[in-house]
Amino acid sequence: MGQVFVTRRVPGRAVELLQGAGHDVAVWPDDLPPPANALRESLLQADAALTMVTDPIGQDLLIEAERLCVVANMAVGYDNIDIVAASQAGVWATNTPGVLHETTADLAFALLLAAARNVVLSDRDTRDGGWQMWSPTAFLGPDPFGATIGIVGLGEIGQAVARRAHGFGMTVLAATRTSRPGIEQELGVEKVSLNDLLQRADFVSLHVPYSPVTEHLIGSQELAVMKETAILVNTARGGVVDQDALVEALRAGTIGGAALDVTVPEPLPLTHPLYGFPNVIITPHIGSASFATRAHMAEMAARNIVAVLGGAEPLNPVNQPPVPRNRA
């Protein structure tokens, strides 16, 4: 049957699923991604690839790897794949929708709460011996309960964040370019312009995919509109925020803080000025990192591969190649 290259060790039964369908599976053994040349060498031999957001799958690779029929990304985002080139080359690209939104929304809320209530900062201080005595003035922060949250992007993850926000008695605003009739009402969300949202929200949480349209969606102008106390939460993609502008806003104190699960680049070098702000939390792109969710994601990617190598269409395509390649 087919040759499948899995670019990292993955949790769950994904490899068993692929082997059970009769495929030969090679798993990159390291915890770091395969370097460009190793990725290329492996893909030249592969009929299918199970990839991560950290694997750049560009045009040259898609053309050169002429056996490759499907790139199954273990992620809902797929900005690491050149989708136009994949379609032109006849390669299916797939993602993992519907399985990670609750887990990612949990992290967005964890970051929101942690930033507001100084969870990370006070933990660090405690470990450094800073806990002298209960203090009426130490580590004060804004109340999430009853505050206004602005959700930018009302897809699966944005909707899951909105549901959580109601549990915290929040007023929920959403800015979305996609029209989903009835959804705002169903979720108890007020649909507003991005500008309006930024002016009114105490917490701004980003949930748009990364694309040329959303690149630097939050830049200096947008940051300038936010409240001085507002906290920006980004669990989407680093490129949605203009990081230089964010650093400037934090320096000038025109926003209250930021909690970032995604940055540009990833990992963010330790010399980056963002690490210098006590009101910034940075986590290493762990939005979907629960045991169950990561296993689901890997298994879903594997099922997409099994479908394509079995001669069917994938279950979760993000492109539609006019002439799909067939396994040689």
Whole-angstrom distance, CA of residue 247 vs CA of residue 230: 15
The dihedral sign for the CA sequence 109, 112, 115, 116:
negative
Window 39 to 58, contacts with ligand DGY (CB under 6 A): 53
Closest residue to ligand DGY using C-beta atoms: 77
Pair of tokens at residue 181 = 């009739």
* Residue 261 Cβ vs ligand DGY, minimum distance, rounded to whole Å: 8
In angstroms, the CA 170 to CA 261 distance is 22
Distance of CA 53 to the CA centre of its chain: 9
How many residues interact with ligand DGY (rule CB under 6 A)?
7
Site for ligand DGY in 260-289 (CB under 6 A): 287-288
Q: Which is nearer to ligand DGY, 224 or 289 (CB)?
A: 289
Return phi, psi of residue 108, to 5°: -60, -45
* Cβ at position 29, least distance to ligand DGY in Å: 21
**Nearest Cα residue to 243 out of 226, 223, 270:** 223
C-alpha torsion 38→44→49→51, nearest 10: 30
Q: Does 100 bind ligand DGY (CB under 6 A)?
A: yes
Least separation in angstroms between residue 81's CB and ligand DGY is: 11
Closer of 250 and 260 to ligand DGY (Cβ): 260
Which range in 74-82, 200-208, 216-224, 267-275 contacts ligand DGY by CB under 6 A? Answer: 74-82
Per the CB < 8 A criterion, the answer to whether 5 and 29 are in contact is no
- Cβ proximity to ligand DGY: between 44 and 286 the closer is 286
112 vs 170, which CB is nearer to ligand DGY? Answer: 112
Nearer to ligand DGY, 76 or 307 (CB): 76
CB of residue 290 vs ligand DGY: minimum separation in angstroms?
A: 10
Exactly one of 77, 141, 144, 257 binds ligand DGY (CB under 6 A); which one?
77
The single residue of 16, 186, 228, 266 carrying the catalytic annotation is: 266
Q: Containing H/E element for 195?
A: helix 194-200
Report d(CA 130, CA 132) in Å as an integer.
Answer: 6
Closest to ligand DGY by CB, 85 vs 99, is 99
Least spacing, CB of residue 80 vs ligand DGY, in Å: 9
Confirm if 211 and 158 have CB atoms less than 8 A apart.
no
**Helices (H), ranges, the chain:** 14-20, 36-44, 59-64, 83-89, 101-116, 119-127, 156-167, 183-187, 194-200, 220-225, 243-252, 291-309
How near is the Cβ of 279 to ligand DGY at its closest, in Å?
Answer: 24
Residue 202 one-letter amino acid: D
**Is 285 tagged catalytic?**
yes
Residue (92 or 210) nearer to ligand DGY, CB: 210
Stretch touching ligand DGY by CB under 6 A, among 71-79, 123-131, 219-227, 240-248: 71-79
Please pick, from the candidates 4, 75, 85, 318, the single residue that binds ligand DGY as defined by CB under 6 A. Answer: 75
Q: Are 194 and 222 in contact (CB under 8 A)?
A: yes
Which one-letter amino acid corresponds to residue 124?
R
User: Residue length, the chain?
Assistant: 328
What's the Rg (C-alpha) of the chain?
A: 21
298 near ligand DGY, judged by CB under 6 A: no
CA-to-CA separations, 97 to 102, 156, 293, in angstroms, rounded: 11, 8, 11
Question: Is residue 141 a contact residue for ligand DGY (CB under 6 A)?
Answer: no
Positions that interact with ligand DGY (CB under 6 A)? 53, 75-77, 100, 287-288
Provide the annotated active-site residues.
237, 266, 285
